[in-house]
Amino acid sequence: MDDEALQELHERRAAALRLGGDAAVAAWHAQGRLTARERIDAFADRDSFQELGRIAGAGRYDAQGRYQGFTPSNSVMGRAAVDGRPLMVVADDFTIRGGSSEAAVAEKWIYAERMALDFRMPLVRFVDSAGGSVKLLAKAGRTKLPGYPLWPSTALMGAVPVASVAFGACAGLGAIRAVAAHFSVMVRDQAQVFAAGPPVVKQGLGVDVDKEALGGTELCTRLSGAILNAAADERDALAQVRRFLSYLPSHAWEAPARASVDDDPQRRDEALNHAIPANRRRIYAARPIAVSIADRDSLFELAPDFGASLRTFLARLDGHAVGLMLNDPAVAGGALTRAAAQKMERFVDLCDSFHLPVVHLVDQPGVMIGPDAERAGTLLAAARAGAAIEQASVPWVSVVLRRAYGVGGSMLGPWSGPTGTALNHRFAWPSARWGSIPIEGGVAAAHRREIEAAADPQARRLELEAYYEQLGSPFRSAEAFGVVDIIEPAETRALLCRWVRDAVRLTQLQPAPKRRTQR
Amino acid sequence: MSARHVRAPATGTVWQLAAELDAPLAAGSVVLYVESMKMEIPATMPQAGRVTAWLVRVGDAVEEGQPLAELG
């Protein structure tokens, strides 16, 4: 080997480390942003990043074909580790052609994703890409049918955890790479995610809209749900991805590992006995109930601002990772809105795909009603969420805290499951009430004539309601074994910590990918 | 910047006014209740201040996000 070739290798490697060049990097830093390489360093375990394809890019040559210089691909990727566990990370470099996907040497970022699939390692995408660029068309002298035949985007979703961070304006393919993930987070006031940015929207629709209104954090994490979580800054986003991964196995062929735990599985919380107000029209704070039941400091909420009548947490019980769902009556009365149903479907798919036992704490008034809800497509979203529950084969337990009414209430757990043998293991607090329809309204409808005919219709209605109220006692259901047990709220944690041991015995038997991927 | 209105926390009907006009109120204190899905959902003060005018009456149908009271 001649020294010249070695020299050239080192030159090319050094050029890759310079990204878009000193001026571009300085301008980037001046915006308070980390470069692609700095993001990887801040994210991964120290010195764990082993780059692949560093010298992919565009070489420059003189007339005699001698090497003159080199512009690296704007996709930096390789193997790294987080908490000692291997994963693949692929980061867009905006300092070269705005992170454009077409300047990336597509084979390279696709290879990162294929390698994650083949080696069964989680995939983490740092997206900072303005999408395609027409200038590259001129360079290529032709167009291509859009698409990437070897990109296993959907297969990945059934095989390994996929997490994405949107760091800047992400359009087109960049937006889809951010959205099509099990966990996605965007940096507030810095990232936007949309099919196309403001100039394209202006051209196509004549609409003037700024990029924050078009695809900012408020829109994506609160209204559309396209991105799950918001981050205060870049490092917060990276910390959230690390936290997310800490609950999951490395792939769908294994169950999550148990974490060390310093919280007593038998811990009683007397406050839970008073968490539900006696007045059934009064709301209460939902989150403290989850905080009390889960291992100390173990809650990580997914999509806290979207469909928030349902709260979804990754959590731990006696050190075991679980998925925890909880209705929040302070938002839409806890109803199953279109957004809550979509959130539920995705969350159940996530838990089922990666063998996280599901704990469902239910206070469900039903599928959201009204003209807005009907127009929004709430019914179809509810049906899909119900299907996700019935297709879930992961161990499942529910505790009805208060209400379980109608179709929404029936979705407390799988009634048959994919093998037809699901127990629908279910418990209730003494504050629980359930039924096909709520008593108020239901009485008025069923006894309309009788009430109208009464000397004092109002009094008769209340009398009838009081009668049905008695019938609605959960103890009457428990007599018929309609629930496995009515429990004292304070003993909920102990019950669930005992249950999770049996649940984990099952998930560890022969974990395998589910036949469907996350939808 | 402080908010100029208390807004409806959910779509429903105004159930009960729970504050006095011009009385000093702490941030987070309940201004009125909206009935939605048979629950009383509190609408709360976004910051410390006073309610200077009601924009709705008990029984009015309200949309989520609709201004319910003016703040001074």
Residue-wise pLDDT for B19-53, tens only, equals 999 999 999 999 999 998 888 999 999 999 999 99
Q: Tens digits of per-residue pLDDT, B44-68?
A: 999 999 999 999 999 999 998 999 9
- How sure is the predictor about A129, in pLDDT bands with cuts at 50, 70 and 90? confident
CA–CA dist A62, A85 (Å, integer) = 45
- Tally of domains in chain A: 3
Q: Are residues A427 and A443 in the same domain?
A: no
**Residue A81 corresponds to which tokens in the numbers above?**
């580790």
**A11 falls within a domain:** yes
A310 interfacial to chain B (CB closer than 8 Å):
no
Q: Do B36 and A332 touch (CB under 8 A)?
A: yes
User: Please, are residues A122 and A157 in contact by the beta-carbon 8 Å criterion?
Assistant: no
Taking one residue from A and the other from B, the number of pairs with CB-CB distance under 8 angstroms is 43
> Positive or negative CA dihedral for A209, A211, A212, A214?
positive
Q: How far is CA A414 from CA A58, A352, A394, A421, in A?
A: 54, 12, 10, 9
Q: Is residue A21 domain-resident?
A: yes
| Best residue of A222, A223, A276, A281 to probe chain B, by most B CBs closer than 10 Å | A281
Instruction: Give me the DSSP letters along A244-308.
Output: HHHHS-SSTTSPPPPPP--S-TT---GGGGGSS-SSTTB---SHHHHHHHSSTT--EEESTTSST
CA gap B49, B23 in Å, rounded: 8
Q: For position A234, what pLDDT does the model report?
A: 98
Q: Which residue has the tokens 């996700």?
A: A388
Do A307 and A402 have their domain in common? yes
CB contact under 8 A, A335 and B37: yes
Residue type (1 letter), A10:
H
Q: How far is B65 from chain A (nearest CA, A)?
A: 12
Which of B41, B44, B63 to mutate against chain A (most A CBs within 10 Å)?
B41
Q: Which residue has the tokens 């830093």?
A: A29
Residue type, A213: A
Q: Is A334 within 8 Å of chain B by CB?
A: yes
pLDDT at A124 over 70: yes
- C-alpha–C-alpha distance, residues A406 and A366, integer Å: 5
Query: Please, what is the average pLDDT of chain A?
Result: 93
CB contact under 8 A, A334 and B9: no
| Residue A282 sits at the chain B interface (C-beta within 8 Å) | yes
* pLDDT 10s digits, A397-423: 999 999 999 999 999 999 999 999 999
Q: Are residues A370 and A421 in the same domain?
A: yes
Are A173 and A101 in contact, with CB atoms under 8 Å apart? yes
Task: Show which of A190, A216, A247 is a domain's final residue.
Answer: A247
Record: contact B41-A283, CB cut-off 8 A: yes
Task: Say if CB A385 and CB A349 are below 8 A apart.
Answer: no
Amino acid (1-letter code) at residue B20: E
pLDDT at A102 over 60: no
Whether residue A335 sits in one domain with residue A238? no
Task: Mark yes or no for CB contact A333/B11 under 8 Å.
Answer: no
Instruction: Please state the rounded mean pLDDT for residues A223-247.
Output: 98
| CATH ID of B5-71, from 1.10.10.10, 2.40.50.100, 1.10.150.130, 3.40.190.10 | 2.40.50.100
Q: Which residue of B has its CA nearest to A367?
A: B37
Q: Which residues contact A145 (CB under 8 A, 6 or more apart)?
A: none
Token pair for A140: 């290529």
Identify whether residues A396 and A278 lie together within a single domain.
yes
Question: HSE of A407 in the Cβ direction (CA atoms, 13 Å)?
Answer: 16
Give the nearest chain B residue to A330 (CA atoms): B41
Helix (H, G, I), strand (E, B) or coil at A43: helix
For residue A269, give the amino acid letter. Answer: D
Question: In this structure, are A467 and A372 located in the same domain?
Answer: no
Residue A445: its pLDDT value, please? 84
Q: What is the pLDDT of residue A132?
A: 66
Cβ within 8 Å, pair B39-A438: no
Whether A192 and A170 have beta carbons less than 8 Å apart is answered as yes
Tell me the percentage of chain A whose pLDDT exceeds 90. 82
| B37:A282 CB<8 A | no
What range does the domain containing A467 cover? 437-473
Q: Is the same domain home to A425 and A499? A: yes
Mean pLDDT of A310-336: 96
Q: What is the CATH number of the domain that holds A495?
A: 3.90.226.10
Q: Tell me if A513 is assigned to some domain.
A: no
Which residues in chain A have Cβ-Cβ distances shorter than 8 Å to B37?
332-335, 365-366, 368-369
Q: How far, in whole angstroms, is CA B28 from its chain's centroid? A: 11
Cβ contact A126:A143 at 8 Å: no
| Of residues A440 and A27, more confidently modeled | A27
- Choose the final residue of a domain: A200, A216, A247: A247
One domain for residues A195 and A344:
no
Are A346 and A390 part of one and the same domain? yes
| Angle value at C-alpha A237, between A234 and A240, nearest 5 degrees | 155
Residue with the bigger pLDDT between A106 and A289: it is: A289
Q: Tokens 């998925």 sit at which residue?
A: A323
CA nearest A373 in B: which residue? B11
Residue A99 has pLDDT above 70, yes or no: no
Is A407 in CB contact (< 8 Å) with chain B? no
Using the 3D structure, point to which of A212, A247, A282 is the last residue of a domain.
Answer: A247
Q: What is this model's ipTM?
A: 0.80
- Has residue A257 been placed in a domain? no
DSSP 8-state symbol, A238? H
Is residue A254, in this structure, part of any structural domain at all?
A: no
pLDDT value at residue A191: 98
CA distances for A16 relative to A74, A98, A129, A503, angstroms: 9, 16, 18, 49
pLDDT band at A361 (very low <50, low <70, confident <90, very high): very high
**Is residue A323 in some structural domain?**
yes
Choose, out of A222, A223, A282, A363, the residue to mutate when testing the contact with B (most B CBs < 10 Å).
A282
Nearest-angstrom CA–CA distance, A316 and A311: 15
Tell whether A261 is covered by a domain. no
Interchain contact, B10 vs A334, CB within 8 Å: no
Minimum CA–CA partner of B12 in chain A:
A332
Residues A378 and A290 placed together within one structural domain of the fold = yes
